[in-house]
């Protein structure tokens, strides 16, 4: 296999799994709560800074800092739900007020990161270091871990939603909220659960990705934009869509980048999405408002 091909394939699968991981949380929250969470990138940042803090200030090993970062992001997301989302649930203007609130949270989080730490770029150590080469392409073990973690989490979320009491309740709330409350499912608490899970997923993405890109107060922005694109491509609210679209877009972007140059990567992706939205306006697995988690 040519170096170019291996490089494109490796980059694509790696980016695909990252996009999918970020999109998974976004699509869950959209599906269940009907909330477009523009603070998803902020949750990524919270997770990675909490882990950075645990590593640099508490001198904990990264394997311990990782779950701390994930829990930190989940807790932050739940707090965000309690303070900003819960009060406006069921009120007119829910869409607008939550959209603005989540943008505000993003700005506040990056400002807080500058104040608490400083604007300089930080480094989080990888969970596994080392690499090997295939056809002259460096394959990092951390990269393999990211791919594995992303696939495992998709599997775990799928099993959780399909077979557990709380997971089924999340699907029930997303499909027929009034009936869910008649089944004695506490709808608002279920929203909180989904938002916390989504926060944990974003936080995990943050901790695992920071060894590749340096950590800075705005490092969640790009992953969130990619996740938004993936979510729209895959169909808003669809878990399967997030997985497939993550890999399709990641691999597509990577091949365009390797074979046609970096300048074509983003325009290529947008071209693909425009085509997709013309052919299937609801995305790959979206069949309109009806189909949800």
Partner 1 sequence: MLEVKGLVAGYGGGEVLHGIDLAVHEGECVVVLGPNGHGKTTLLRAITGLLTPRAGQVLLEGRDITRWRADSIAAAGLVHIPQGDLLFPEMTVTENLLLGAYNRATWSDRNARLARVYELFPWLKERGGQLARTLSGGERRMLALGRGLMSKAKLLLIDEPSLGLAPLITQQIYASIHKVKDSGMSLLIADENANQVAGLADRVYLLETGSLVRQGPAAELLRDKALLESYLG
The single residue among 135, 176, 222, 266 that binds partner 1, judged by CB under 8 A, is 176
CA-CA distance, 201 to 102, in Å (whole number)?
A: 17
Q: Which of 57, 63, 184, 279 binds partner 1 (CB under 8 A)?
A: 184
- Burial class of residue 156 in the structure, from the number of CB atoms within 10 Å of its CB (0-12 exposed, 13-18 middle, 19+ buried): exposed
Q: Does 179 participate in binding partner 1 (rule CB under 8 A)?
A: yes
Q: Which of residues 187-206 bind partner 1 (CB under 8 A)?
A: 187
Q: Indicate which single residue of 175, 212, 268, 272 sits in contact with partner 1 (rule: CB under 8 A).
A: 175
Stretch that binds partner 1, among 6-14, 174-182, 214-222, 228-236 (CB under 8 A): 174-182
- Is 171 an interacting residue with respect to partner 1 (CB under 8 A)? yes
Q: Token digits for 156?
A: 């775990």
Looking at the Cβ atoms of 280 and 291, the one nearer to partner 1 is: 291
Reduced 3-state DSSP string for the chain: CCHHHHHHHHHHHHHHHHHHHHHHHHHHHHHHHCCCCCCHHHHHHHHHHHHHHHHHCCCCCHHHHHHHHHHHHHHHHHHHHHHHHHHHCCCCCHHHHHHHHHHHHHHHHHHHHHHHCCCCCECCCCCCCCEEEECCEEEEHHHHHHHHHHHHHHHHHHHHHHHCHHHHHHHHHHHCHHHHHHCCCCHHHHHHHHHHHHHHHHHHHHHHHCCCCCECCCCCHHHHHHHHHHHHHHCCCCHHHHHHHHHHHHHHHHHHHHHHCHHHHHHHHHHHHHHHHHHCCCCCCCCCCCCCC
Stretch binding partner 1 (CB under 8 A), from 183-191, 199-207, 217-225, 274-282: 183-191
| Closer CB to partner 1, 187 or 272, in the complex | 187
> For residue 60, what are its two tokens?
């904990």
What is the rounded CA–CA span in Å between residue 13 and residue 72? 28
Among 32, 65, 127, 169, binds partner 1 (CB under 8 A): 169
Stretch that binds partner 1, among 103-111, 148-156, 169-177, 254-262 (CB under 8 A): 169-177
Region of 113-121, 164-172, 256-264, 276-284 interacting with partner 1 (CB under 8 A): 164-172
Query: What number of other Cβ atoms are within 10 A of residue 107's Cβ?
Result: 11
Segment near partner 1 (CB under 8 A); pick from 129-137, 151-159, 182-190, 228-236: 182-190
Q: How far is the CB of 245 from partner 1 (least distance, A)?
A: 19
Binding segment for partner 1 (CB under 8 A), chosen from 100-108, 135-143, 145-153, 178-186, is 178-186
* 17-56 footprint of partner 1 as x/- string (CB under 8 A): ----------------------------------------
**Residue with smaller CB distance to partner 1, 133 or 176:** 176
C-beta of 131 vs 181, nearer to partner 1: 181
* Closer residue to partner 1, CB minimum distance, 135 or 189: 189
Q: Which residues bind partner 1 (CB under 8 A)?
A: 165, 168-169, 171-172, 175-176, 178-187, 290-293
């Amino acid at each position: 296999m040519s170096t170019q091909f291996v490089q494109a394939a490796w980059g694509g699968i790696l980016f695909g799994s990252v996009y999918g991981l970020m999109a998974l949380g976004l699509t869950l929250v959209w599906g269940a709560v009907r909330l477009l969470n523009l603070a998803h990138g902020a949750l990524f940042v919270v997770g990675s800074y909490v882990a950075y803090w645990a590593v640099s200030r508490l001198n904990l090993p990264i394997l311990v800092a990782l779950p701390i970062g994930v829990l930190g992001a989940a807790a932050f997301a739940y707090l965000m739900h309690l303070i900003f989302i819960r009060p406006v649930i069921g009120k007119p203007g829910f869409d607008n007020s939550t959209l603005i609130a989540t943008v505000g949270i993003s700005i506040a989080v990056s400002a807080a990161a500058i104040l608490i730490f400083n604007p300089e770029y930080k480094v989080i150590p990888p969970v596994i270091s080392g690499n090997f080469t295939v056809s002259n392409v460096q394959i990092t073990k951390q990269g393999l871990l990211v791919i594995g973690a992303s696939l495992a989490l998709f599997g775990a979320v799928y099993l959780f939603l399909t077979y557990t009491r709380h997971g089924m309740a999340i699907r029930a709330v997303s499909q027929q909220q009034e009936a869910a409350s008649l089944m004695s499912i506490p709808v608002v608490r279920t929203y909180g659960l989904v938002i916390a899970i989504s926060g944990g997923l974003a936080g995990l993405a943050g901790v695992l990705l920071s060894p590749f890109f340096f950590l800075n107060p705005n490092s969640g922005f790009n992953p969130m934009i990619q996740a938004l694109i993936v979510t729209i491509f895959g169909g808003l609210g669809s878990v399967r869509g997030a997985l497939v679209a993550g890999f399709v877009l990641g691999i597509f972007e990577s091949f365009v980048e390797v074979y046609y140059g970096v300048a074509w990567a983003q325009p290529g992706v947008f071209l693909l999405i425009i085509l997709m939205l013309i052919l299937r306006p609801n995305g790959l697995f979206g069949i309109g408002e009806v189909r949800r988690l």
